[in-house]
Structure 1
Amino acid sequence: MVEEITDVVIIGAGPAGLQAAVHAVRKKASVLVLGRLENSSIYSAHVENYLCVDGVTDGAELLRIALAQATRFGAEVWPEDVLHLGQEGELFTVNVESGRQVMARTLILATGTSRKKLKVPGEKELLGRGVSYCVDCDANFYRNAKVAVVGNESAAVDGALTLTKYAAEVHLVCKDMAVGKELGEKLSASSVVVHKGVWAKEILGEKAVSGLLLDSGETLAVDGVFVELGAKGAMELATSIGVLLDTDTFSFIETNKKQETNITGIYAAGDIAGPPWQMAKAVGEGCVAGWEAANHANRIKRMSESA
């Protein structure tokens, strides 16, 4: 079933996508947001480093407020996953899980990134209660605490070094460390306790993290576990229609200052457009993407009306 043509279709209901919706709909564009709040990386997080947010705020609550704003201004929201993207002339086709197909004048990709998981017991259950995938986001919550970082590469080492500025005790769990000489020397000169040749087996705790069980049988008594295995971009949809990724790591979408991708009419914002993984960046990019996508859609309509 093909729906009527929508000016702006936004894929992703996190901070970038919802901010894009607010700005696009206020430019008098028809806007459809596809996605679920709970799939956003901040849904299970706590926020305290965002401008105008006083103290520690629940990420899920911020998203609910954002969703209410977007819908109040006139955006439509479908809590559905997108299965396929296509292009027909100047229009884009979007197929969703319910079987519906949407035609869009512009697309905004704001799907965030899918963090690589340890896939061990306790990881999912304790997410947001001691388990984190972003040192830069959550380090401040672990002042004078004991923490562990799990990972083999530069992201894990850099995260462990950052945590030494906050935590009382930092452990780095790595099976096979693969970092450059300079970073390795910084690690050696730091207070980080390195556990080489071992890996995480289970994250322990009831209501919050209380320890990390290693496959060697040793248990680290820690208050937090940071999983730093890198981030895998949710790129399959984008690359299927020719959107280009960054040429260095191929892990995020290349955009310009207008959040435009290499394909006219497709924009990207938030984590999918690259680091830093911060809500402030996502919201800023969402603002720009929503504004620009609405302008582009309105230009297309004016041109077709005058033809």
Structure 2
Amino acid sequence: MSETIQDIVILGTGPAGLQAAIHSARKGLKVLVLGKNDKSSLWWAHIENFCCTLEISGEQILKTGQIQAESFGAVFFNEDVLSIVPPDLMSPDGNVFTINTETKVFKTKSIIICTGTTRNKLGVPGEKELFGKGVSYCVECDGNFFRGEEVAVVGGESAAAGGALHLTHLASKTHLVAKKFSIAPELMQRLKDAGIIIHEGVDVKEITGGIGVDGLVLDDGSKLDVTGVFIELGAKGVMSLAAELGTSLDESMKFIETDKQQRTNVPGIFAAGDICGPPLQMAKAVGEGCVAGLAAAKFVNRSK
């Protein structure tokens, strides 16, 4: 567990997160950036419409941005977030958020959410038809509907692992399915110790059901008799974050609402980039990251 309370923790290593890190770290604050930069949608892109640059690879931009942020004192930790616990005003720490990653626990006075909005889908039969009838993309939002039932989480990264751990407190039996897992060994051991049934090396072939989900068919021919399927392919999405933190979403329920200072409705939480809505462009993400970084720094300095 990290004993040091961070001033600002930034979720996401895309252009919004990097710019927020640069501007907040330059204020002399303790800034921690969580995420995996090769998971950013920009990593594989080629940029030709960003001001003052000719064609450049997204990978080059992200690597350079991290070097810049580190030069001002920002620290990067290459893990995604499993869960976030809002402040307990009765605790000795006071108005401090607790962030659990795959292997560490961090505490922070402020959070800047820059995780993007992509919610990857499986693209298998039954997924679309049974959405809302047992198929979900948010464990925190819908897990309570499956108390005492058998469920499955699909995904091999931190969001899926965190979701599976959460469901062990609700479901009678929890399965975790992935072709390949990309999580820390310590986290894998936690999953096993929690009694989660691991299905590695298989893909989902079909989600079955009528008025509700009644099974998950795997490509090895086996079928899991589950009533709930939670698809968690990647880092935590906007719905999961909103459910945990209480941040307001826009009418489409796809994006976090912020004001002109990139503040959310929750004191100490800011957001920037694609997670705040279109246009989904790097130029917008960088600008919002700048504003969020400065605003979060101001918030932290006021609270000292």
For the criterion TM > 0.5, the same-fold answer is: yes
Deviation at 1:118, TM superposition (A): 7.0
State the partner residue of 2:97.
Answer: 92
State the partner residue of 1:27.
Answer: 27
Is the Cα–Cα contact under 8 Å of residues 8 and 31 in structure 1 kept in the other structure? Answer: yes
State the partner residue of 1:74.
Answer: 73
Does 1:57 pair with 2:56? yes
The structure number with the bigger radius of gyration is: 1
Residues 68-112 of structure 1: per-residue CA shift (max 9 Å, x gap): 0001110000010100111223111111111x1111010000001
Deviation at 1:3, TM superposition (A): 2.8
> Aligned AA for 1:241?
L
Deviation at 1:117, TM superposition (A): 4.7
> Which secondary structure does the structure 2 equivalent of 1:85 belong to?
strand
Is the Cα–Cα contact under 8 Å of residues 258 and 288 in structure 1 kept in the other structure? Answer: yes
State the partner residue of 1:103.
Answer: 107
**Structure 1: gaps spanning 5 or more residues:** 121-231, 302-307
Is the Cα–Cα contact under 8 Å of residues 238 and 256 in structure 2 kept in the other structure? Answer: no
> Which secondary structure does the structure 2 equivalent of 1:252 belong to?
coil
The within-5 A match list for 1:157-306 is 233-246=237-250, 248-301=251-304
Whole-angstrom distance in 2 between the partners of 1:15 and 1:64:
10
How many residue pairs are counted as aligned between the two chains? 187
| TM value normalised by structure 2 | 0.59
Is the Cα–Cα contact under 8 Å of residues 15 and 285 in structure 2 kept in the other structure? Answer: yes
Residues 285-305 of structure 1: per-residue CA shift (max 9 Å, x gap): 00000001011111111xxxx
**Structure 2: gaps spanning 5 or more residues:** 90-94, 125-235
> Which secondary structure does the structure 2 equivalent of 1:3 belong to?
coil
State the partner residue of 2:8.
Answer: 8
Does 1:46 pair with 2:46? yes
Deviation at 1:19, TM superposition (A): 0.3
Whole-angstrom distance in 1 between the partners of 2:45 and 2:123:
19
Is the Cα–Cα contact under 8 Å of residues 9 and 31 in structure 2 kept in the other structure? Answer: yes
Is the Cα–Cα contact under 8 Å of residues 34 and 79 in structure 1 kept in the other structure? Answer: yes
Give the share of equivalent positions with the same residue, in percent.
Answer: 52
| TM value normalised by structure 1 | 0.59
Deviation at 1:242, TM superposition (A): 0.7
State the partner residue of 2:159.
Answer: none
Query: Considering only aligned residues, what root-mean-square deviation do their CA atoms show, in Å?
Result: 1.6
> Which secondary structure does the structure 2 equivalent of 1:8 belong to?
strand
Residues 110-168 of structure 1: per-residue CA shift (max 9 Å, x gap): 00111545749xxxxxxxxxxxxxxxxxxxxxxxxxxxxxxxxxxxxxxxxxxxxxxxx
> Aligned AA for 1:234?
V
Whole-angstrom distance in 1 between the partners of 2:2 and 2:73:
21
> Aligned AA for 1:5?
I
